[in-house]
Amino acid sequence: MQLDKENLIWIDLEMTGLDPEKERIIEIATIVTDKT
């Protein structure tokens, strides 16, 4: 995939619970796609 200002970066966080103030991130996933 070529560098393009119209690419999208998707980020998914898996956490130990729903409260971001006290819970921890345990997994991070990212993927880059084009706009189509």
Element (H, E) at 1: none
pLDDT score of 19: 96
Model pLDDT for residues 1-36, shown as the tens digit of each residue: 667 778 899 999 999 999 999 999 999 999 999 877
> What per-residue confidence (pLDDT) applies to 2?
66
pLDDT at 5: 78
Q: How much is the pLDDT for 28? A: 98
Helix, strand, coil shares, percent, the chain, to 5: 0, 45, 55
Looking up tokens 């998707």, which residue turns up?
10
What is the Cα 3 distance to its own chain's centre? Answer: 18
Q: What is the per-residue pLDDT for 16? A: 98
Q: How confident is the model at residue 4, as a pLDDT?
A: 77
Cα–Cα distance, 25 to 12 (Å, whole number): 10
Task: Please report the pLDDT score of residue 36 as a whole number.
Answer: 72
